[in-house]
Amino acid sequence: MTGPSAAERAARRLAPLFGDRLTANETIRDHHAHSEGWRHPDQTLLPAYVLFARTTQDVSDTLRICHEENVPVIPFGGGTSLEGQLTPVPDCISLDLSMMTDILDVSPENLTCRVQAGVTRQDLNLQLRTQGLFFPVDPGGEATFGGMCATRASGTGAMRYGTMRANVLGLTAVLADGRILQTGGAVRKAATGYDLTGLLIGSEGTLAVITEVQAQLHPIPEAVGAAVCQFPTLASAVETAVLVIQCGLTVGRMELLDDVQMDACIQYSHFTGYEALPTMFFELTGSPASVAEQETVLRDLVESQGGQSFRWATATEERNTLWKARHDAFWACMAYRPGYRGITTDAIVPIAALTELMTGARADIDASGLLAPIVGHVGDGNFHTVILIPPNDADAEKRALELDHKIIRRALSLGGCASGEHGIGLAKQIFMTEEHDPAALSVMRAIKTALDPKNILNPGKLVPADVP
């Protein structure tokens, strides 16, 4: 007869504190066993329990007890991660922060706010709208601030405003043993110690559980213009993006959809008046005069690269129609081949290598015989392919993974990285040793061991297990 498991022992101690916010309900556990993207090939494991925290103190109590009982804890936010960051390990607790939705403070006079980890950017921006402010980091999906910090998220706004790394000033987080820590603060810069905020951003829940975020806000630009234009070839579209960066044009957003992705978007969004051709979406921001001036420069540049049907919109409604097609790209892919699932690549290279990488990736896709629309945050040298896999087709699954790896290795050989914004999780872990040298990996391991000696925080993710 075996005794209770470690998670069971922890649950007995947690139950009096959390009541029905601690649950072993199978539907809820199943919901916490995976996220939107990659699934572990043998994914049948569920977390032993799901615990819904409401406060930093809840998280502290949970970790203190789980630390004492040696129970692995997997922090869970919006469940939108794509690389297996939320995949359970045996006898673990999924610590769900999605009920931590308080916007604690908005300071228009400091252009900052403080939110609980479960707040989504959509919720925050809705609340900020009347104050003329917004938070610019916009990954796809209803991601939470905690999750966006944990994966170092970015999106279409990164080109102008930077990623989470640039837009988070400070954090409240809970260490593996339950101690609460404040990092950073409310100022725009500081030189007072190791950058613990930056260390936790992108740590994928392996070093601490983020419970509150002090974020930098930005004024909504006075004027915004949007342009869409189509190109005869993928190469000419990418080359246009590269020139925009190299010329230092102050473009706010710049996104590329290839012909396959445009075909999917046209069908999904009833996006009429465009053809299934490589297409660039631009957003220009600033004062009315500067937006108009930028438009002229951009139009010239686009035309010099063979871009056509440059369509320009400054009215909000018209702009929203244009950008909605871009924002719906992932869902358009899913609807393009109903029942298929997608593996998303997220390679990034220095801007001058982007044309070579993207045209190479496109050739790889064509050679694979698979369908894989391309959508790119090309201003950052970053793009995604959503490799579509038919249901129950083991051969296609195998070829899709091979294609995924081939594109990433192309990026690495061009001086790039395996992920621009989705992170490592489990799915991209094999590339950690290809991208980083042994000394860098051993420093990551040393930091993990120093902060979480019992290895209870999202164990096995990010830093590969075989790094000494």
Contact between 250 and a second copy (CB under 8 A)? Answer: yes
Q: Is residue 186 a contact residue for a second copy (CB under 8 A)?
A: yes
Residue 251 binds a second copy, judged by CB under 8 A: no
What Rg do the C-alpha atoms of the chain give, in angstroms?
Answer: 23
Among positions 115, 269, 431, 461, the unique one binding a second copy when judged by CB under 8 A: 431
| Residue 349 binds a second copy (CB under 8 A) | yes
Contact with a second copy (CB under 8 A) among 451, 456, 457, 458 = 451
Q: Shortest Cβ distance from residue 218 to a second copy (Å)? A: 7
Q: Return the residues of window 411-430 that contact a second copy according to CB under 8 A.
A: 415-424, 428
Q: Which is nearer to a second copy, 12 or 179 (by Cβ)?
A: 179
What stretch of H or E contains 170?
strand 168-174
Least separation, in Å, of the C-beta of 420 and a second copy?
6
Residue 367 near a second copy by CB under 8 A: no
Does the protein bind a second copy through residue 436 (CB under 8 A)?
Answer: yes
User: Which listed range, 29-37, 86-94, 201-209, 255-263, lies at the site for a second copy (CB under 8 A)?
Assistant: 201-209
**Residue tagged 């837009």 (tokens):** 167
Interface with a second copy in residues 134-163 (CB under 8 A): 151-154, 158, 162-163
Q: How far is the CB of 381 from a second copy (least distance, A)?
A: 6
CA angle, 106 as apex, 105 and 107 as ends, to 5°?
A: 115
Find the binder of a second copy among 12, 129, 190, 318 (CB under 8 A): 190
Separation between Cα atoms, residue 230 and residue 256, nearest integer Å = 10
Residue 203 burial class via C-beta count within 10 angstroms: exposed 0-12, middle 13-18, buried 19 and up: buried
Q: Does 246 bind a second copy (CB under 8 A)?
A: yes
Q: Which helix H or strand E contains 294, and what residues bound it?
A: helix 288-304
Check residue 117 for interaction with a second copy (CB under 8 A): no
Applying the rule CB under 8 A, the residues between 283 and 342 that interact with a second copy are 286-287, 289-290, 293-294
Distances, alpha carbon 168 to alpha carbons 201, 279, 290, 342, in Å = 9, 32, 28, 31
Rounded-to-integer distance, Cα 444 and Cα 174, Å: 19
- Whether the CA torsion 59, 65, 67, 70 is positive or negative: it is negative
Measure Cα distances from 27 to 64, 317, 407 in Å: 27, 40, 36
Binder to a second copy among 53, 71, 245, 254 (CB under 8 A)? 245
* DSSP H or E run through 317: helix 316-327
If one asks whether residue 223 binds a second copy (CB under 8 A), the answer comes out as: no
Number of residues that bind a second copy (CB under 8 A): 92
